[in-house]
Amino acid sequence: MQELKAIEFKNNKLYLIDQRKLPLIYKKFKCNNYMDVEFAIREMVVRGAPAIGAAAAYGVVLAAKEFVNKDKNSFIENMNQACSLLNKARPTAVNLMWAIKRMKEIITSNQDLNVEEMCIKLEKEADRILMDDIETNKAMAKHGNKVVPNEGTILTHCNTGALATAGYGTALGVIREAHYTGKNIFVYADETRPRLQGGRLTAWELRQENIPSKLIADSVAATLIRDKKIDVILVGADRIALNGDTANKIGTFMLSVVAKVYGIPFYIVAPTTTIDFDIETGEDIEIEERSSKEVTHIGETRIVPEDMNVYNPAFDVTPNENITGIITEKGIIQKPFKENILKLKK
């Protein structure tokens, strides 16, 4: 298996696989500066919570390289502005804010260094964020594999694979692990309207690795669950509150309701960097609303009447009571979630 690199920093440029174009076109998007990174996150050239965080960290590195010739005070002032722009590129995935905070801490804790030395530290930190995420995903995959039967069918939503992370993936990482450890698994991948991350990206990753699978329209899931065709549901997360409420791609909540009715295990797979220790419940999670064009058009082709209004939230919140467990790199968090999540706080 050749490892897919959705995010690569070389020769002082950030290269991202352009996820707007997959699977029809495989092309790298080059970010020359932090504004390009902000654009790439906002326009979903790069997407998926951990991937957004890692890309943003390199956005901070590019900003540092741009301002390296300034005196220390104006360097810090410019860096703060760049960080707050990157921080706002998308509102729901907490990994973005987590990564920016971590990068800002490098600046605040190294005030004694000169600007050039700070730049070197920042680049090292971004590299660490990227590398740690791959390690985290592999650890998570091992824990997650325990909930996958030796022979069985998994349902997943959105894209949580190598494209959505620094590599390997979260929910799709568990699926990869199950497949590579010889389990006889079959995967149903939700198409994931409106941006079709399942149809375009998960299907692409599944095909690349020959994992037995079928793509379904989102509305097929309930029938498969009722007909006992699904053994376990694995999804990712964009932000997890202290009580376990989880924001993830729109449609996840609906899936969790059906899973609960029919008693199918429903697991969140996410690194601890996706936990927001500052919020008590999912009510505190800002849900991004995206352009109506994502619903009115497929590609550049309009598919609904010109004057139709659209409501297009990109995420929803699955209440903790619908979640069987939260698979992290530190193990599987069981209920009561709040008590067990707090134990993970460093």
CB atoms within 10 A of CB 68: 13
236 φψ region: left (φ > 0), alpha (ψ -120 to 50), beta (else)? beta
Q: What is the DSSP string of 142-200?
A: HHHHTTS-SEEEEEE-S--SGGGSSSS-SHHHHHHHHHHTT-EEEEEEE--TTTTIIII
Q: How far is the CB of 178 from ligand MRU (least distance, A)?
A: 17
Residues in 248-277 at the binding interface with ligand MRU, rule: CB under 6 A: 248-249
Tell me whether residue 132 is one of the annotated catalytic residues: no
Q: Which of 17, 55, 115, 158 binds ligand MRU (CB under 6 A)?
A: 158
If the CB atoms of residues 107 and 178 are measured against ligand MRU, the closer one turns out to be: 178
Q: Which of 9, 47, 58, 147 binds ligand MRU (CB under 6 A)?
A: 47
Residue at token pair 């004057």: 307
If the CB atoms of residues 90 and 179 are measured against ligand MRU, the closer one turns out to be: 90
Distance separating alpha carbons of residues 272 and 278, to the nearest angstrom: 13
Widest CA span in the chain: 66
Gap between the terminal Cα atoms of the chain? 35
Buried-exposed string 151-170: b where 16+ CB fall within 10 A, e elsewhere? eebbbbbbbbbbbbbbbbbb
Binding of residue 170 to ligand MRU (CB under 6 A): yes
Q: Which of 17, 37, 48, 202 binds ligand MRU (CB under 6 A)?
A: 48
Q: Which of 136, 145, 156, 165 binds ligand MRU (CB under 6 A)?
A: 165
Binding of residue 194 to ligand MRU (CB under 6 A): no
Instruction: Give the per-residue contact string, 95-134, with ligand MRU (x = CB under 6 A; - = no).
Output: ----------------------------------------
If the CB atoms of residues 250 and 258 are measured against ligand MRU, the closer one turns out to be: 250
Q: Which residues are catalytically annotated?
A: 238
Binding site for ligand MRU (CB under 6 A): 47-50, 93, 158, 160, 164-165, 170, 197, 236-238, 248-249, 314
